[in-house]
Amino acid sequence: MSLMKRYAEDTEHFKLRAIETAWITDDLERALALSDLFEDCGNAATVYHSPAEVAALFVHTVSETYATEWMSQRKATA
């Protein structure tokens, strides 16, 4: 598998996990899930040429996806 294809699949996987994490109702459980997700971003980035930059991109994508989903969930349940 090419690294571009793997990057696209990794990014999609992390986005889905971020959405799932945003729906966790328990604060501690959600924080632990986010921590695990960020750690997994770093671990997944090790196969790329520039792991630090790819990890930062993964974390940025996760953060944006999580925040968007979290806010839309809060608006929907308000």
* Rounded (10°) CA dihedral 6, 68, 19, 54: 30
Please report the pLDDT score of residue 1 as a whole number: 73
Q: Give residue 29's identity as a one-letter amino acid code.
A: E
Q: Token digits for 7?
A: 């990057």
**DSSP code of 49?**
S
Give the pLDDT of the chain (78 residues) as one tens digit per residue. 799 999 999 999 999 999 999 999 999 999 999 999 999 999 999 999 999 999 999 999 999 999 999 999 888 876
Q: Token digits for 32?
A: 């632990």
- pTM summary value: 0.91
For the chain, the C-alpha Rg in angstroms (whole number) is 13
Distance CA 2, CA 66 (A): 27
